Amino acid sequence: MMERLAADITDEEGTPLTANPLADRLDAYGDWRDRLVADINAYQSWLAQEGLSDAEDELRIFELLDSVKRDKLSVAMVAEFSRGKTELINAIFFSDYNRRLLPSTPGRTTMCPTEIQYEKELDPCIMLLPIETRKTALTINEYKHDLVHWSTLPLNTESADDMADTLREIIKTKKVAVADARSLGLSHPDDIFADESVNKNDKVDIPVWRHAIINYPHPLLKKGLSILDTPGLNALGTEPELTLSMLPNAHAVMFVLAADTGVTRTDLEVWNSHVRVATRNHVAGRIAVLNKIDTLWDEIEADETISKSINRQVEETARVLNVKKQSVFPVSAQKGLLAKIKDDPTLLRRSRLNDLEDKISSDVLAAKHALLREKIISEIGGMIQATAALIESRLDSTSAELEQIQSLRGKSASVLSEMTNRLREQKAHYEQEVSNFDVTRRMLSDQIKILLSHMSLKSLDKLISDTRYSMQGSWTTQGLRKGMEVFFHGTTKRMERVNRDTKKVKDLVDSVYERFHKEHGLARVRPASFSVLPYRSEFKRLNIEAETFRNSPVMVMTEQHFVIKKFFITLGSRARDTFNDCNRATKSWARSILTPIYTQIREHKVMIERRIANLEKIKNNHVNLDQHISSLEQSVANLKKQQEMTRRMLARLHQGLPRGH
Ligand SMILES: Nc1nc2c(ncn2[C@@H]2O[C@H](COP(=O)(O)OP(=O)(O)OP(=O)(O)O)[C@@H](O)[C@H]2O)c(=O)[nH]1
Ligand SMILES: [Mg+2]
């Protein structure tokens, strides 16, 4: 579903009234997120106050809130070199700096993947990971957890000149012997690292840094935007982490082409080997940008002729990439940046930058909103439902008690005794049931242990060692092919087991609910099913990725085994994340379907005991019947209020993005 925001409001001509739709929508999105955080906080205090929460729930809510606060909208730029990725970032996001913030020049500029973000715990700075770390088995993501390996340079945000100077560090290169470059598993545009006839002592330029993070307090970044700028095809091939995890994790991936070059062979290579597969699971965020349309402008030509020629090129691009024409955005980053700096609306319109910005701020942000909402619902939706079920069963039994006590009015003491006796029998019968249930409970706990073992780290280690064994130390495309067969066969098997065992657990829980409902009138809850689909499609994507990788040109390198090893390591690390995610989700699912029944079973016993105690009090004249009736009425009213609160909270979770402000 796509919500419309205030930024959508247009005047009669249909022009947006707001100047920066992206900033506005990010604001609205941020507000929605903040309100949700406040709601969840209020909900948690309410749970604690009503005695409805437990330590594990509290921890989960805490973790969820923490991750919601850190939530980011990430946009990645991918292209062959010199298509204008960096210029596009400057134009869309940083034009208010009134100059080029990131270095963009003819020829190869960006040397390493660069993330631009803002974490308020850090001072403005750039963090750089040395290229030599490629020799280790750690992924960039793993290095992010260990900041000692990074060089940090402070950014002087007061001076644009100082900043631009510091940022130039990112694009630095150094001269090393060909042999050293080979040992780092780098590739070279002219294939000289692969060419055996090149003297290994010859000097070549290589990037100084493997990865850069810019921490910069720009308003958009403060609102949670994060941008990934990437270097061209060579780096995409040699740093498999980009295609395996960074691009798939981005909410939007902009693939940049240039109108003056058209779609070249290497552009297609980037598209087919990296962008298409990486964005397979979120096509909404895949955007093709046809940059440099100003090269088609000609002073003499009429606007209409230019328009036609741009249109033709858009159609051609869509055809070659095999995407819809609507997903190709013709722009001029350079003129757009200039127009924004000079405040020239005519030039800005000609640059068509606004269309692209609209796309990011509507579709991409809406998809992102849906994603976060799903995450929150899956984390605490079950928890709220469990609370709701508990309240319902309290309400049921309190209402039943009220009815029974009301029926005592004007009755003799013997009726009272009879009632107490019946409740005692009910209690004995119930206790028997609960002790029988202990067997089922043990069975459930065993089944869940087995279920969790499929996606445990031990299971992953076994899978990886099976894979390695099948490759027999052969770090070649042939070895990789065998290895990947074993690997993906293993992941499929595990997914099948998870699927089968979650069904088993659910069936058992269903039957428990059914029995307690029929026999003892406990609230009937319909436990949710567990879906392995997201994990299955992630492995499918990795599989296609592995196949594409095997057939990609980077495989002609002499240091093939190096690249394959790197790929293998990254794949393992990506698989570990997916195993972890799946495990976490199954755990949370199991908890969400079991907690309500366990709590209800416990509660029901307490309720019967309380009712017996109350009847005793009435019998011994410790409580007056009318007083008791009115206190029960009070409880019923309170429980109804609690019920209302959980309903409201569930409704809020499902609410759409607000209509701006
Ligand atoms: N005419 C024209 N030139 C542009 C446009 N956008 C970028 N350029 C120029 O193209 C060259 C490359 O731009 P960059 O932004 O550095 O390209 P990149 O994709 O980041 O390139 P690498 O960092 O080398 O991978 C620069 O000289 C830019 O000034 C545009 O819209 N029109
Ligand atoms: Mg660049």
Using CB distances shorter than 6 Å, the residues near ligand 1 are 79, 81-87, 104-106, 108-110, 231-232, 291-292, 294-295, 332-334
pLDDT digit string, tens, across residues 582-605:
998 898 888 888 888 888 888 888
Of 586, 379, 615, 611, nearest to 503 by C-alpha is 586
Confidence of residue 8 (pLDDT cuts 50, 70, 90): very low
Report residue 600 as tokens: 């209800």
Distance between Cα 141 and ligand 1 center (Å): 28
Distance between Cα 106 and ligand 1 center (Å): 6
pLDDT for 657 beyond 60: no
Confidence of residue 510 (pLDDT cuts 50, 70, 90): very high
- Strand-pairing partners, residue 130, are 209
pLDDT on residue 281: 76
Q: Which of the two residues, 340 and 2, has the higher pLDDT score?
A: 340
141: exposed, middle or buried (Cβ count in 10 Å: 0-12, 13-18, 19+): middle
Kindly give the number of the ligand 1 atom that is closest to the alpha carbon of 351: 31
Point out the ligand nearest to the CA of residue 356.
1
pLDDT digit string, tens, across residues 134-173:
988 888 999 998 889 999 999 998 888 888 889 889 989 9
Distance between Cα 444 and ligand 1 center (Å): 60
Point out the ligand nearest to the CA of residue 266.
1
Chain-centre distance for alpha carbon 298: 44
pLDDT on residue 110: 80
CA-nearest residue for atom 30, ligand 1, is 292
Give the span between the Cα atoms of 464 and 442, in whole angstroms.
32
CA distances from 78 to 173, 227, 246, 259 (A): 21, 11, 11, 16
**Mean pLDDT, residues 176-199:** 75
Q: Identify whether the C-beta of residue 134 lies closer than 8 Å to the C-beta of residue 112.
A: no
**Mean pLDDT, residues 85-94:** 89
Of 574, 576, 566, nearest to 235 by C-alpha is 566
| Residue type (1 letter), 67 | S
Q: Identify whether the C-beta of residue 158 lies closer than 8 Å to the C-beta of residue 181.
A: no
Q: Identify whether the C-beta of residue 50 lies closer than 8 Å to the C-beta of residue 390.
A: no
CA-nearest residue for atom 14, ligand 1, is 84
pLDDT on residue 24: 82
Which helix H or strand E contains 412, and what residues bound it?
Answer: none
Near ion ligand 2, which residues have CB within 5 Å? 86, 109-110
Q: Which of the two residues, 418 and 187, has the higher pLDDT score?
A: 418
pLDDT for 298 beyond 50: yes
| Residue type (1 letter), 524 | R
Distance between Cα 286 and ligand 2 center (Å): 19
Please give the mean pLDDT across all residues of the chain.
85
Distance between Cα 81 and ligand 1 center (Å): 8
CA-nearest residue for atom 32, ligand 1, is 292
CA-nearest residue for atom 3, ligand 1, is 292
Point out the ligand nearest to the CA of residue 78.
1
Confidence of residue 102 (pLDDT cuts 50, 70, 90): confident
Q: Which of 7-16, 77-86, 101-110, 196-205 has the lowest mean pLDDT?
A: 7-16
Query: Strand 114-117 and strand 209-215: pairing?
Result: parallel
Chain-centre distance for alpha carbon 378: 12
Maximum alpha-carbon separation in the chain: 110
155: exposed, middle or buried (Cβ count in 10 Å: 0-12, 13-18, 19+): buried
The best mutation among 78, 80, 82 to test binding of ligand 1, ranked by most ligand atoms within 8 Å of the C-beta, falls on: 82
Kindly give the number of the ligand 1 atom that is closest to the alpha carbon of 110: 23
Kindly give the number of the ligand 1 atom that is closest to the alpha carbon of 79: 19
Q: Identify whether the C-beta of residue 7 lies closer than 8 Å to the C-beta of residue 25.
A: yes
Confidence of residue 517 (pLDDT cuts 50, 70, 90): confident
CA distances from 34 to 20, 62, 64, 66, 379 (A): 21, 15, 13, 12, 17
Kindly give the number of the ligand 1 atom that is closest to the alpha carbon of 80: 25
Point out the ligand nearest to the CA of residue 231.
1
pLDDT for 16 beyond 50: no
Q: Which of the two residues, 243 and 256, has the higher pLDDT score?
A: 256
For the entire predicted model, the pTM comes to 0.80
pLDDT for 331 beyond 90: yes
CA-nearest residue for atom 9, ligand 1, is 84
pLDDT on residue 526: 77
Report residue 213 as tokens: 């993070």
pLDDT for 382 beyond 80: no
pLDDT for 12 beyond 50: no
Chain-centre distance for alpha carbon 345: 37
pLDDT digit string, tens, across residues 300-328:
777 888 899 999 999 999 999 999 999 99
Point out the ligand nearest to the CA of residue 232.
1
| Residue type (1 letter), 320 | V
Query: Strand 73-78 and strand 225-229: pairing?
Result: parallel
Kindly give the number of the ligand 1 atom that is closest to the alpha carbon of 333: 31
Task: Considering only CA atoms, give the Rg of the chain.
Answer: 31
Confidence of residue 4 (pLDDT cuts 50, 70, 90): very low
Sign for the pseudo-dihedral over CA of 430, 434, 435, 437: positive
Point out the ligand nearest to the CA of residue 256.
1
pLDDT for 19 beyond 60: no
The best mutation among 227, 261, 334 to test binding of ligand 1, ranked by most ligand atoms within 8 Å of the C-beta, falls on: 334
Distance between Cα 71 and ligand 2 center (Å): 26
Name the H helices within 455-559.
Answer: 457-471, 477-520, 533-550
